[in-house]
C-alpha cells in the first residue's frame, strides 16, 4: 500500500464512498442502536427536580434592634454571616455533614434509598446525597437548593426540609452563644445588684446620723450658723456647730460611699440593659434567611429526556461503527499491500 493511498484513505470523498458501500450493515447497526437506546431510555430511572431559593438575612442582634437606645448598625457576636459573606457561610451549613445526617434521620433516607442493609451505608448515603442534593450561589447572591428524586412530592418535601433544617442548625448555633452570653451578663447584673444593696446598707448608718445630701446640708448649716452668730443666738449656734462636727467627722466616709453608689448605679443600669438584651436573644428567634421560592411538586420529570437519549445513543453508535469499519478496512488493505 503506497503512502499516497494511506494518506487518502480517510479523505472525505473516500469516507463517503466507503459509507455508501457499507450502507446495509450500517443501516442494521443504526436500527439496532436505536432500539437499544429506546430500551435504555425506558429503563433509566426518572428524576424530578424541586427547587428552593433563599436569601441570607441581615442577622443582627434582635434585642439591639428593638431595645437598645443607641443606633448601632455594626455586627455583634450573634451575627451569622452578613451582607458580604452571608451566602458563603450559609453554603457551609448546607454542605455540612450535620445537615446531611439531619435530613437522613428526618426522612429515613437510609431506608428510602435501600441502604440500611449495606455495611458501608453511610458512605453510600453521602454519595447519593452529593449526587441528588445540589447547592449553589446565584448571580444575585441568593442560594439555590436543588433536590432530585423519583417522586416529585418527595423531591419537594426534601428541598423544603433542607431549608427548614438549615435554619434550625443556624438557630441552634446562635442559641448556644446567646445562652452563654445571657449567663455572663446575668451574673454581672446580679453582682451589680448585690454591690448596690451592700452600699445602700452601709449608707443607712450615715442616713441615721442625718446625713442625706452632704454638700447641700453643709451649706445650709453653715448659713444657719452664720445667722445665729450675727443674731447672738448662742444656743442655736451651738446646736448647729454640733451638727457640723458630725458632718465633719463622717462626711468623708459618706462621700466615698455615695460616689461608689452612683458609679454602681451606672454599672447597674448598663448591666440591666445588657441582661434584657441577652434574655431576648436567648428566648426569641428570627429566621436566618428569607425563602423567596418554596419547592412544589414538579409536573414533568427533569431526566431522562428520552428523545435525547435515543438520538444521542444512535448517533454515537453509528459513529463508532463507521470508525471501526474504517479501521478494519485499513488493516485489510494493508495486508493486501
pLDDT of residue 109: 93
Residues 6+ apart with CB under 8 A from 98: 169
Chain centroid to Cα 57, Å, comes to: 9
The predicted-structure confidence for 227-267, as pLDDT tens digits, reads as follows 766 777 777 777 767 677 777 777 777 777 888 888 888 88
**Per-chain mean pLDDT for the chain:** 78
Model confidence band, residue 1 (pLDDT cutoffs 50, 70, 90) = very low
Give the three-state DSSP class for 300: coil
**108: pLDDT strictly greater than 90:** yes
pLDDT of residue 310: 64
Give the three-state DSSP class for 50: strand
The predicted-structure confidence for 43-79, as pLDDT tens digits, reads as follows 667 789 999 999 887 655 555 554 554 545 554 444 4
Model confidence band, residue 288 (pLDDT cutoffs 50, 70, 90) = confident
Phi then psi dihedrals of residue 209, to 5 deg: -80, -5
Domain boundaries, given as residue ranges, for the chain: 191-283, 311-337
Cell triple for residue 281?
A: 436573644
The predicted-structure confidence for 168-214, as pLDDT tens digits, reads as follows 998 888 888 888 888 888 888 888 888 888 888 888 887 777 767 76
Amino acid at each position: 500500500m503506497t503512502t499516497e493511498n494511506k494518506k487518502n484513505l480517510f479523505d472525505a470523498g473516500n469516507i463517503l464512498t466507503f459509507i455508501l458501500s457499507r450502507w446495509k450493515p450500517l443501516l442494521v447497526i443504526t436500527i439496532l442502536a436505536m432500539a437499544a437506546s429506546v430500551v435504555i431510555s425506558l429503563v433509566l430511572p426518572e428524576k424530578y427536580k424541586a427547587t428552593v431559593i433563599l436569601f441570607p438575612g441581615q442577622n443582627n442582634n434582635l434585642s439591639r434592634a428593638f431595645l437598645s437606645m443607641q443606633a448601632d448598625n455594626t455586627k455583634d457576636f450573634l451575627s451569622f454571616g452578613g451582607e458580604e459573606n452571608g451566602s458563603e457561610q450559609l453554603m457551609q451549613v448546607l454542605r455540612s455533614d450535620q445537615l446531611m445526617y439531619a435530613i437522613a434521620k428526618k426522612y429515613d433516607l437510609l431506608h428510602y434509598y435501600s441502604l440500611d442493609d449495606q455495611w458501608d451505608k453511610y458512605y453510600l448515603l453521602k454519595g447519593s446525597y452529593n449526587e441528588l442534593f445540589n447547592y449553589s450561589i446565584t448571580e444575585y447572591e441568593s442560594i439555590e437548593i436543588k433536590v432530585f428524586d423519583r417522586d416529585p412530592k418527595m423531591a419537594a418535601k426534601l428541598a423544603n426540609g433542607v431549608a427548614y433544617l438549615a435554619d434550625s442548625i443556624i438557630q441552634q448555633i446562635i442559641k448556644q452563644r446567646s445562652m452563654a452570653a445571657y449567663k455572663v451578663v446575668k451574673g454581672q447584673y446580679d453582682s451589680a445588684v448585690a454591690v448596690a444593696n451592700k452600699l445602700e446598707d452601709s449608707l443607712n448608718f450615715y442616713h441615721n446620723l442625718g446625713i442625706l445630701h452632704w454638700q447641700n446640708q453643709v451649706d445650709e448649716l453653715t448659713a444657719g450658723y452664720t445667722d445665729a452668730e450675727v443674731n447672738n443666738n448662742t444656743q442655736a449656734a451651738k446646736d448647729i456647730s454640733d451638727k457640723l462636727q458630725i458632718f465633719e467627722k463622717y462626711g468623708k466616709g459618706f462621700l466615698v460611699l455615695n460616689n461608689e453608689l452612683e458609679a454602681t448605679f451606672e454599672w447597674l443600669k448598663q448591666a440591666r440593659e445588657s441582661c434584657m438584651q441577652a434574655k431576648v436573644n436567648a428566648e426569641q428567634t428570627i429566621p436566618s434567611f428569607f425563602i423567596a421560592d418554596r419547592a412544589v411538586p414538579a409536573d414533568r420529570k427533569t431526566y431522562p429526556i428520552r428523545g435525547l437519549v435515543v438520538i444521542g445513543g444512535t448517533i454515537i453508535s453509528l459513529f463508532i461503527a463507521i470508525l471501526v469499519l474504517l479501521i478494519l478496512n485499513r488493516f485489510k488493505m494493508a495486508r493486501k499491500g
